[in-house]
């Protein structure tokens, strides 16, 4: 396995579904050699999802105050993530905490990118807002292209 | 020793308590070094579950109430179906009851493992989070993650998914897992058994304040097992009740500083639910391995130190792992997976032991199965007064410490009870000013 793409979020909370939607679009492209996972709920076991992979990309919604649809990319190998970036509640573990725990345990993959898509609305039952939907498509297209590059030659 | 405070009155405020489930704050006021006021302020918005259950079908309770909590949804499902089966006069088969207990063991394991190692243990070492704990005790954190995952695996296989399971119905389950499907959980539990056996000794080795409190303990009890999915309510003061008598012995009150109701004994006293209460009342029914681990960790027959609740939780996790393995060894898939439940106009009550303590549900339904009234009393609202009393004791003991250190001690005292604040918030005063 060369690449794992993990989409994180809650499908029923508006723009919080951004990561899940990216994962759905990348999975639909069905690249070989790439594993795509939709991770809902507690992220304490996030490191298990990239176990055995050389590289992983984790996509989650963010609430950092940036304009909706802003895409921020973090090289998680290079330094600590801002814990509050993707944390929407005090419930259990969020992505940044899970990444830091994996770092402390020596369980980061050789390359780990965290992509944070700034949300606008996290209301129950709301769909993606337009700016976030556009960002989701752009991130999914970029990841699909990267995934295609990872696929073994046929 | 810190210098005496410059001002006679000190206010200590923590606006958002970290590493608890839900949104809460803490306010402490000291005057001349004496505690004037202590409040655990729960400001998470009320959630109105009891109101919007009214008018729904009696069959919907496990799926609706599971949404109250992402950490302990099984507790809500199990208490709700117990109450609804009581209303309808239905009794499930021993095989269904065994599968429910197995399912519940999965939740105890994942919930306790999360709290013990990722949320609570850092407090004892003065660390801010589990990453710092992982740097010092890597093997422990690796074991904890595997333990939590084993519990989650059990929940996923039986419940259909780990969070907010979808396989529970009034009368049993929609589908019973096969023995082959459960083999993955059995392997996972066997793999974490050694770690679970070592965990009570590890947490007992953490530096712990020696504080002895004297709460009234309240927990379910059964003659032949450590009560989880049912039983009669017992207390250290001699209460012995069935679920319909809950309101005879306990009252809930609204307080201005919290969206969670406060519970107390009808005679006015506070009480404690959760691991310390279960252990005090039922330790004789723990598995042999758990009893042995409890003794080796220095727990006597009763533990009155809330800071040692972490040890009791670790003992309960070991019990849940051993119990789950025993249930898996004897597993017979219930066939059919659910008994028929026919609605009738009635009031039903039921309760179970959520990881944080007693969770009571009562529903009234009409003849065609429409819910006309719902009441849910979660463990955290029952413990809220007790948590405030612990906070008061903590502040009195550590009043000389600087604010930051005192705040840390207070947060630790709150986390001793693993409060699940989201579960507890369900009330809002509506003031109408009519002129």
Per-residue pLDDT of chain B (435 residues; tens, 9 = 90+): 344 445 567 776 666 655 555 556 777 788 877 888 877 776 555 567 888 899 999 999 999 999 887 788 999 999 999 999 999 999 999 999 999 999 999 999 999 999 999 889 988 998 888 888 898 899 999 999 999 999 999 999 999 987 789 999 999 999 999 999 999 999 999 999 999 999 999 999 999 988 888 889 999 999 999 999 999 999 999 999 999 999 999 988 877 666 667 788 988 888 999 999 999 999 999 999 999 999 999 999 999 999 999 999 999 999 999 999 999 999 999 999 999 999 999 999 999 999 999 999 999 999 999 999 999 998 988 898 888 888 888 888 888 888 888 888 888 888 898 877 655 443 222 222 222
Q: How many contacts (CB atoms, under 8 Å) link A and B?
A: 61
Q: Is A30 on the interface with B (CB under 8 A)?
A: no
Q: Measuring CA to CA, which residue among B14, B13, B17 is closest to residue B419?
A: B17
Angle at B185 between CA B154 and CA B136, to 5 degrees: 85
pLDDT for residue B20: 55
Residue of A nearest to B23 (CA): A90
Residue of B nearest to A107 (CA): B142
Question: For residue B257, which phi and psi values (nearest 5 degrees)?
Answer: -90, 10
CA–CA dist B153, B215 (Å, integer): 35
pTM: 0.88
- Judging contacts by C-beta atoms under 8 Å, the chain A residues touching residue B20 are 90
Residue B359, SS3? strand
Mutate to test the interface with A, among B23, B127, B130 (most CBs of A within 10 A): B130
Over the stretch A112-132, which tens digit does the pLDDT of each residue have?
A: 999 999 999 888 888 899 999
pLDDT for residue B429: 23
For residue B257 the two structure tokens come to 């500083």
Which residues, other chains included, contact A55 with Cβ-Cβ below 8 Å and sequence gap of 6+? Answer: A2, A3, A4, A109, A110, A111, A112, A113, A150
Please give the distance of CA B204 from its chain centroid, rounded to a whole number.
21
**DSSP, res B324:** H
Q: Is B74 on the interface with A (CB under 8 A)?
A: no
Question: For residue B346, which phi and psi values (nearest 5 degrees)?
Answer: -165, 170
Q: Is B52 on the interface with A (CB under 8 A)?
A: no
| CB-based burial label for B2 (10 Å; 0-12, 13-18, 19+) | exposed
Subunit contact A41:B163, Cβ cutoff 8 A: yes
pLDDT for residue B405: 83
Establish how many alpha carbons lie within 13 A of residue B223's alpha carbon, considering only the half-sphere containing its beta carbon: 0
Mean pLDDT of A98-102: 89
Which residues, other chains included, contact B165 with Cβ-Cβ below 8 Å and sequence gap of 6+? Answer: B66, B73, B74, B77, B103, B155, B158, B159
Lookup result for tokens 């039903």: B348
pLDDT for residue B23: 59
pLDDT for residue B375: 92
Has the ipTM of the complex gone over 0.85?
A: no
Q: How are strands ordered across the β-sheet holding B346-354?
A: B346-354, B357-365, B371-377
Q: Is B132 on the interface with A (CB under 8 A)?
A: yes
- Minimal C-alpha gap between B133 and chain A (Å): 9
CA–CA dist B203, B59 (Å, integer): 42
pLDDT for residue B3: 46
For residue B83 the two structure tokens come to 């109450």
pLDDT for residue B428: 23
Position A26 pLDDT exceeds 70 = yes
- CA B347, B353, B356, B362: dihedral to nearest 10 degrees? 0
Question: For residue B63, which phi and psi values (nearest 5 degrees)?
Answer: -80, -35
- Minimal C-alpha gap between A86 and chain B (Å): 15
Q: Is A93 on the interface with B (CB under 8 A)?
A: yes
pLDDT for residue B425: 44
Q: Is B149 on the interface with A (CB under 8 A)?
A: yes
Considering only the beta carbons, identify the residue of B18, B130, B149 that sits closest to A101.
B130
């Amino acid at each position: 396995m060369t690449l794992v793409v993990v989409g994180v979020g809650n499908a029923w909370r508006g723009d919080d579904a951004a990561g899940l939607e990216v994962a759905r679009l990348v999975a639909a492209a069905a690249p070989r050699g790439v594993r795509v996972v939709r991770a809902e709920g507690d992220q304490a076991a996030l490191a298990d999802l990239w176990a055995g992979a050389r590289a992983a990309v984790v996509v989650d919604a963010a609430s950092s105050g940036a304009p909706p649809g802003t895409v921020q990319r973090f090289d998680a190998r290079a330094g600590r993530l801002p814990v509050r970036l993707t944390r929407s509640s005090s419930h259990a573990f969020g992505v940044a905490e899970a990444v830091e725990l994996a770092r402390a345990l020596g369980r980061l993959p050789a390359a780990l990118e965290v992509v944070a898509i700034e949300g606008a609305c996290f209301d129950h039952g709301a769909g993606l807002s337009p700016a976030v939907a556009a960002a989701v498509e752009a991130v999914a297209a970029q990841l699909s292209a990267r995934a295609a590059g990872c696929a073994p030659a046929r | 020793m810190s210098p005496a405070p410059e001002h006679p009155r000190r206010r200590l405020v923590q606006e958002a308590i970290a590493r608890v489930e839900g949104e809460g704050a803490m306010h402490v006021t000291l005057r001349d070094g004496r505690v004037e006021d202590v409040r655990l302020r729960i400001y998470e918005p009320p959630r109105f579950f009891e109101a919007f259950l009214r008018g729904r079908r009696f069959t919907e309770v496990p799926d609706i109430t599971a949404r109250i909590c992402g950490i302990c949804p099984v507790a809500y499902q199990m208490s709700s179906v117990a109450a609804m089966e009581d209303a309808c006069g239905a009794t499930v088969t021993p095989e269904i009851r065994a599968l429910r207990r197995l399912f519940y063991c999965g939740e105890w394991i994942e919930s306790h493992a999360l709290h013990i190692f990722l949320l609570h243990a850092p407090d004892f070492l003065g660390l801010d989070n589990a990453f710092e704990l992982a740097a010092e005790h890597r093997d422990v954190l690796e074991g904890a993650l595997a333990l939590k995952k084993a519990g989650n695996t059990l929940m996923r296989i039986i419940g259909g998914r780990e969070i907010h399971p979808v396989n529970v119905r009034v009368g049993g389950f929609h589908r019973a897992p096969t023995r082959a499907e459960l083999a993955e959980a059995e392997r996972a539990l066997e793999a974490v058994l050694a770690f679970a056996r070592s965990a009570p000794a590890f947490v007992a080795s953490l530096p712990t304040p020696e504080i002895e409190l004297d709460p009234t303990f309240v927990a379910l009890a059964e003659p032949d097992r450590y009560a989880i999915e049912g039983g009669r309510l017992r207390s250290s003061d001699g209460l012995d009740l069935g679920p319909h008598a809950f309101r005879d012995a306990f009252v809930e009150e609204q307080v201005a500083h919290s969206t969670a109701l406060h519970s107390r004994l009808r005679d006015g006293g506070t009480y404690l639910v959760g691991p310390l209460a279960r252990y005090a009342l039922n330790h004789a029914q723990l598995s042999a391995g758990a009893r042995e681990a409890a003794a080796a960790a220095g727990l006597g027959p009763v533990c009155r130190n809330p800071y040692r609740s972490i040890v009791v939780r670790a003992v309960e996790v070991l019990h849940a792992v051993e119990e789950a393995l025993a249930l898996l060894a004897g597993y017979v898939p219930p066939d059919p997976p659910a008994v028929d439940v026919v609605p009738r106009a009635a009031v039903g009550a039921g309760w179970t032991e959520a990881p944080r303590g007693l969770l009571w549900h009562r529903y009234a339904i009409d003849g065609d199965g429409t819910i006309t009234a719902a009441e849910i009393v979660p463990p955290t609202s029952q413990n809220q007064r007790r948590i405030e009393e612990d906070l008061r004791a903590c502040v009195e003991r550590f009043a000389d410490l600087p604010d930051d250190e005192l705040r840390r001690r207070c947060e630790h005292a709150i986390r001793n009870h693993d409060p699940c604040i989201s579960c507890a918030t369900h009330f809002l005063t509506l003031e109408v000013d009519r002129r």
